[in-house]
Amino acid sequence: MIHVRINGKLLEAKKGETVLQLAQRNGYHIPNLCYHPSLKADGACRMCLVEVKGANAKPNSLTTACTLTVKEGMEVLLDTPEVSKHRNTILEMLMALVPDSPVLTKMAEEYGLKEIRLAQGDEVCIKCGLCVRICDEVVGAKALAMEGRGTETTFNPPFNEPPERCVACTSCAFICPVQCIPVKKTNDSITIWGREFDRLKCTRCGRALDLTEEHMALMMTRSSHLKPEDLNVCDVCSRKEVLGTMKSLVDGQITLERVGK
Amino acid sequence: MERISSPNALLDVIKKHQDARDPDKVRISVCQGTGCIASGANSVMASFESTLLEKNSSVELLGTGCHGFCERGPLVVIQPEGTLYQRVKPENVNEILDKTIGNGEVITKLLYRDEAKNTYEKEQDVPFYKHQERIVFAMNGHIDPSRIEDYLAMGGYGALAKVLLNIEPEQVIHMVTKSGLRGRGGGGFPAGVKWKSCRDAEGSPKYIICNADEGDPGAFMDRSIMEGNPHSVIEGMIIGAYAIGATKGYVYIRNEYPLALLRLENALEQARELGLLGDNILGTDCSFDITINRGGGAFVCGESTALMMSIEGKVGRPRVKWQHTAKKGLWGNPTNINNVETWANIPPIMDRGVDWFTSIGTGDVSNNPWGGSKGTKIFSLVGKVNNTGLVEVPMGISIRSIVFDMGGGIKNSQKGRTFKAVQTGGPSGGCIPEQYLDNPIDFDELTRLGSMMGSGGMIVMDDRTCMVEVARYFVDFLKEESCGKCTPCREGLRAMSEILGRIVKGQGRHEDLVVLEDLASTMSVASFCNLGLTAANPVLSTLKYFRQEYLDHIDKGECAGRQCQDLIKYTISEENCTGCTLCARKCPTKAISGEKKSLHVIDQELCVRCGVCDDVCNFNAVTILSGPER
Ligand SMILES: Cc1cc2nc3c(=O)[nH]c(=O)nc-3n(C[C@H](O)[C@H](O)[C@H](O)COP(=O)(O)O)c2cc1C
Ligand code: SF4
Ligand code: SF4
Ligand code: SF4
Ligand code: FES
């Protein structure tokens, strides 16, 4: 066990975990915009600044909790004046970039950021990179890309054209911390990043599924155990099936061996 | 040449080439560096070749690497006297051969002439060279970089032989640490310390990298080393590989350096042929080879983790270092990265020893490799000085000596131009004002002054430089070159650029300075990589030393450097104008009118503020007004 202090309180940390994970596990809140537990930390937004002491840290060094691996004897302070000053400047930068985000406005209220002194832009994306990373690391579609450099950096489908490799899983829209990726769903289609996909229908009842042909194909290439019938049945029907099976079991119409099949 | 079978046999080969080189032989060396080639050195070389052939002369002709004084190129040096001819043209070739080679006569019109009209005969007496201490550049100008024989004849690869024969890898690392050699790529990290952690790291194969991305605009020392003496870099890398236990090396070279690439490829081929690279180097059990990687072109690709991503075939952007790259670098394996100039320092250190190296430079590194800065540093001296080019100087030299002794002082001082500041360290360096001209500069002192060593860029600025504009220029450069990944760097630079863009137009506000300082302070602690962490230096240092200039822009619409287009007005003074008509003839927009021998007048509607009139006027009659007087 590794011993780490957060705000003076001694905590037991697991080897290899980050300060952000340790803090979250113990009920501390560290603001963050580019972290998600299912992805490798990237350290892009810089909102999760903390102050570190001990364990070879330079005096008063600030660093990001999401990329900081715990070390024996480390002391972490979450809300020092230095931390909150720089965090607010970063938040101010983001709010100048994306002026109308409720998520950022709420953060500003929470952390006492009163005034945006910088010239305001009219973007909607805070450039955290989560969409590109989830599409790459978790979905495996690699439909999106970080393109350009400097202030021109964008997180979009390549060349900002309807993405060829997208499967309309909508994970990116779900993970986006400022909810800026629009998804349009009708009974027959899902539209995301300017591309319209047909929705598959439940093979039992015909209800529209949150699934596309493309998504199903991708999932099956990524896992050889999956079969179409595992995917193309709606929740209601599969629940019904489970219930039906259980009922037959209780009634003694089938035996456990048959369920296994 | 034949494969060499052992370190001892290598020593014999070196001896043979050394003995064969007659130091008193008449040699004409023509610089074949990129700078001199740009000013026509190829045709000078060709002319020498054909004329010597015609004359059936046995004089040796040598195409060498960069001499550093590119501004005066094409450069020709006649050995053994060391006579330096500058700005040589093909039509001078016959005269040089007849007079200097034939008769021992010096051709005065080809000699270097300083501001005070003194001429200098010998290369080593020219002030630009006289105050230098050339270790890395020692052979540039004396050898043909395409011939390994020349390098061997100067004792090259002797350090490698010595190391393979007598020195254990750990001992090599110990020596590099004791030498106090710090990384020349910008960070100034002690090379020996880095080598040791890579040697001690678990995992194989281990890699070493030579960072030849050289992205700082205006810096070209790494190019000149690779062009002028590629074997010195290769020898340094082989010694490093032996010490660290690496089996594979990469040179990550900037795409814009075709000549350096060519020379390096050629040198690698020669080294392989001799058995200096490849399996079982010189019959020992050390195996190592080097591959060349061509850079992606982005400034940030020079950053070590971005560079490794790029070698791995990914987009070159800095990545999270969960562990130091010495432990987990290229493809997750232990990797040691050093700069070109750092590698080129290794052979002289191993050859001449730690005591010799530590006798040059500042501080005491006997117990602490951070305790000083040892050896030399190559600076790329540019801007408003009379002599521009590459100078290799001992650490601890003063900026005054570089600017005034080697640089020959401020350009156009006869027209009243004076020193204002020097910007060191590349785009994210800082501006150092006059009061620190005599401080001995090294890694730590430059940082203390709010600038940095960086790769050794040094831009001299005169009183006609606006320091707000300087900050704006570098901020805009960095804004384009930031990789865009993290908020403080990307958005901080965007905001700074907007504010500075307003101030230079006279639309600044007092609060802007507070905001600039807040942005700078956050960027300097919260950015992801060193680009962002240092990107505020141009703003911070100019705010610190030249705050009044910012205030004058804001309060009075006055630009002290008379540079900001929106705040200045060109006029011609009645007192000084002789009516020579020169300015009227040169003005590109024909904005100047006036009769011969009478006062000339500038039409403000037509004037585009290009400054040509001021440049050409021989009577100091053009005045640039700014602020209330405008
Ligand atoms: C934005 C950025 C650009 C850099 N560019 C270069 C470069 O062009 N050449 C170089 O040698 N080092 C460059 N560096 C420094 C490298 O990251 C690294 O520290 C260096 O190559 C290590 O070698 P050294 O210890 O021998 O200096 C750069 C660093 C940053 C942050
Ligand atoms: S919806 Fe498309 S772009 Fe978004 S995560 Fe899924 S596959 Fe990637
Ligand atoms: S679209 Fe959303 S998730 Fe993607 S980078 Fe922008 S803010 Fe982050
Ligand atoms: S500091 Fe700048 S260059 Fe470095 S990661 Fe952040 S945005 Fe990219
Ligand atoms: S959550 Fe740590 S940098 Fe974004």
* Distance, C-alpha B137 to centroid of its chain: 12
Q: What is the pLDDT of residues A203-218, one digit of tens each?
A: 888 899 999 999 999 9
Length of chain A: 261
Q: What is the CATH number of domain B19-130?
A: 3.40.30.10
Structure tokens at B170: 């750990």
List of chain A residues whose C-beta atoms are within 8 Å of the C-beta of residue B526: 46, 49, 62, 64, 86, 90
Q: What mean pLDDT comes out for the span B388-409?
A: 96
Residue of B522, B523, B524, B528 to mutate for A, most A C-beta atoms under 10 A: B522
Range in A35-44, B57-66, B464-473 the model is least confident about:
B57-66
**What b/e readout covers A175-212, taking b as 16+ CB neighbours within 10 angstroms?**
bbbbebbeeeeeeeebebbebebebbbbeeeeebbebb
Query: What phi-psi label fits residue B78: left (phi over 0), alpha (psi between -120 and 50 degrees) or beta?
Result: beta
Residue at B176: amino acid letter: V
List of chain B residues whose C-beta atoms are within 8 Å of the C-beta of residue A86: 521-522, 525-526
Query: Cα–Cα distance between A93 and A44 in angstroms, integer?
Result: 13
Neighbours of B88 (CB within 10 A): 27
Q: What is the pLDDT of residue A243?
A: 83
Residues above pLDDT 70, as percent of chain B = 100
Q: What is the pLDDT of residues B87-106, one digit of tens each?
A: 999 999 999 999 999 888 99
| Residue A13 DSSP one-character state | E
Q: Which atom of ligand 3 is nearest to the CA of A129?
A: 5
Neighbours of B18 (CB within 10 A): 15
**Ligand 3: residues whose CB is within 6 Å?**
A 125-131, 155, 175-178, 180-181
Q: What mean pLDDT comes out for the span B471-494?
A: 96
| More confidently predicted of A257 and B27 | B27
Beta-carbon separation of A46 and B298 below 8 A: no
User: Among B559, B565, B593, which Cα is nearest to B579's?
Assistant: B593
Whose tokens are 């106090």? That residue is: B180
Omega of the bond prior to B205 within 30 degrees of 0, cis?
Answer: yes
**What's the CATH class of domain B375-465?**
alpha beta
Query: Cα–Cα distance between A41 and B610 in angstroms, integer?
Result: 51
User: Among B533, B513, B517, which Cα is nearest to B187's?
Assistant: B533
Query: Cα–Cα distance between B312 and B43 in angstroms, integer?
Result: 41
Q: What mean pLDDT comes out for the span B336-360?
A: 97
- Say whether pLDDT at A180 is over 90: yes
Structure tokens at A89: 């400047």
Q: Which atom of ligand 1 is nearest to the CA of B215?
A: 8
Contact call for residues A66 and A43 (beta carbons, < 8 A)? yes
Helix, strand, or coil here: A191? strand
* Distance, C-alpha B187 to centroid of its chain: 15
Whose tokens are 């985000």? That residue is: A101
Range A2-110 has CATH code 1.20.120.160: no
The CB of A219 under 6 Å from ligand 2? The reply is no
Residue at B317: amino acid letter: R
The alpha carbon of residue A106 is apart from the nearest alpha carbon of chain B, in Å, by: 19
Is residue B484 less than 8 Å (CB to CB) from chain A?
yes
Q: Which CATH architecture has domain B468-555?
A: Up-down Bundle (1.20)
Q: What is the pLDDT of residue B64?
A: 94
Name the closest ligand to CA A136.
2
Residue at B443: amino acid letter: F
Range in B56-65, B233-242, B427-436 the model is least confident about:
B56-65
Residue A10, phi then psi, degrees to nearest 5 = -75, 125
- Which protein residue has the closest C-alpha to ligand 3 atom 3? A176
Helix, strand, or coil here: B212? strand
In this complex, how many residue pairs, one in chain A and one in chain B, have their CB atoms less than 8 Å apart?
101
Q: What is the pLDDT of residue A261?
A: 42
* Distance of CA A33 from the midpoint of ligand 5 (Å): 6
Domain ranges in chain A are: 2-110, 130-238
Contact call for residues B475 and B429 (beta carbons, < 8 A)? no
Q: What mean pLDDT comes out for the span A185-209?
A: 93
Range in B176-185, B315-324, B344-353, B494-503 the model is least confident about:
B315-324
Q: What is the pLDDT of residues A56-108, one digit of tens each?
A: 666 668 999 999 999 999 999 999 999 999 999 999 999 999 998 999 999 99
Pick the CATH number of B565-629 from 3.30.70.20, 1.10.3720.10, 3.40.50.970, 3.40.50.920: 3.30.70.20
Whose tokens are 């006055």? That residue is: B558
Mean pLDDT score of chain B: 94
Q: The dihedral of CA B173, B174, B177, B181: what is its sign?
A: negative
List of chain B residues whose C-beta atoms are within 8 Å of the C-beta of residue A150: 478-484, 490, 493
- Say whether pLDDT at B304 is over 80: yes
Domain ranges in chain B are: 19-130, 156-369, 375-465, 468-555, 565-629
Query: Who contacts B453 (Cβ-Cβ below 8 Å, separation ≥6)?
Result: B186, B188, B377, B424, B425, B442, B443, B446, B447
Whose tokens are 């015909």? That residue is: A206
Query: Cα–Cα distance between B212 and A192 in angstroms, integer?
Result: 43
Identify each DSSP E strand in chain A by its residue range.
Answer: 2-6, 9-13, 49-53, 61-64, 74-77, 145-147, 154-156, 183-185, 189-192, 195-198
Among A67, A93, A117, whose Cβ lies nearest the Cβ of B491?
A: A93
Q: What is the pLDDT of residue B91?
A: 94
Structure tokens at B89: 């043209």
List of chain B residues whose C-beta atoms are within 8 Å of the C-beta of residue A151: 479, 482, 484, 490-491, 493-494, 497
Among B483, B525, B528, whose Cβ lies nearest the Cβ of A86?
A: B525
Query: Cα–Cα distance between A179 and B36 in angstroms, integer?
Result: 57
Beta-carbon separation of B490 and A151 below 8 A: yes
Query: Who contacts B265 (Cβ-Cβ below 8 Å, separation ≥6)?
Result: B292
Whose tokens are 């650490």? That residue is: B395
Q: What is the pLDDT of residue A258?
A: 56
Neighbours of B629 (CB within 10 A): 10
Q: What is the pLDDT of residue A57?
A: 61
Query: Cα–Cα distance between A192 and B475 in angstroms, integer?
Result: 37
- Say whether pLDDT at B337 is over 90: yes
Q: What is the pLDDT of residue B530?
A: 92
User: Among B525, B245, B538, B25, which Cα is nearest to A87's?
Assistant: B525
Structure tokens at B626: 């700014």
Report the predicted TM-score, pTM, of the whole model to 2 decimal places. Answer: 0.91
Residue at A225: amino acid letter: H
Q: What is the pLDDT of residues B271-286, one digit of tens each?
A: 999 999 999 999 999 9
Element (H, E) at B623: strand B622-626
Query: Cα–Cα distance between A123 and B251 in angstroms, integer?
Result: 40
DSSP characters for B76-112?
EEEETTTEEE-S--GGGHHHIIIIIIIH----GGGSE
Q: How many CA atoms lie within 13 A of B597 on its CB side?
A: 0
| Domain B156-369 fold | Rossmann fold (3.40.50)
- Say whether pLDDT at B257 is over 60: yes
Burial of B578 (0-12, 13-18, 19+ CB in 10 A): middle
Mutation pick for ligand 3 pocket among A32, A93, A94, A125 (CB with most ligand atoms within 8 Å)? A125
Q: What mean pLDDT comes out for the span B380-399?
A: 95
- Say whether pLDDT at B217 is over 90: no
- Which protein residue has the closest C-alpha to ligand 4 atom 8? B483
Whose tokens are 């590989």? That residue is: B241
Torsion on CA atoms A57, A59, A65, A71, rounded to nearest 10: 30
How open is the CA angle B526-B529-B533, to the nearest 5 degrees?
A: 55
Query: Cα–Cα distance between B534 and B446 in angstroms, integer?
Result: 13
Q: How many helices (H) and strands (E) does chain A have?
A: 9, 10
How open is the CA angle B404-B410-B411, to the nearest 5 degrees?
A: 135
Whose tokens are 């156009």? That residue is: B412
Place A256 in a pLDDT band, splitting at 50, 70 and 90.
Answer: low
Query: Who contacts B115 (Cβ-Cβ below 8 Å, separation ≥6)?
Result: B386, B408, B409, B413, B414
Contact call for residues B100 and B60 (beta carbons, < 8 A)? no
Query: Cα–Cα distance between B101 and B77 in angstroms, integer?
Result: 11
Q: What is the pLDDT of residues A107-155, one digit of tens each?
A: 999 999 999 999 999 999 999 999 999 999 999 999 999 999 899 999 9
Query: Cα–Cα distance between B326 and B303 in angstroms, integer?
Result: 14
Mutation pick for ligand 3 pocket among A95, A178, A179 (CB with most ligand atoms within 8 Å)? A178
Q: What is the pLDDT of residues A237-255, one digit of tens each?
A: 888 888 887 888 787 777 6
| ipTM of the complex, rounded to two decimals | 0.90
User: Among B598, B573, B593, which Cα is nearest to B583's?
Assistant: B593
Is residue A86 less than 8 Å (CB to CB) from chain B?
yes
Is residue B528 less than 8 Å (CB to CB) from chain A?
yes
Closest chain A residue to the Cα of B301, Cα to Cα: A149
The alpha carbon of residue B175 is apart from the nearest alpha carbon of chain A, in Å, by: 26
Q: Which atom of ligand 1 is nearest to the CA of B184?
A: 27
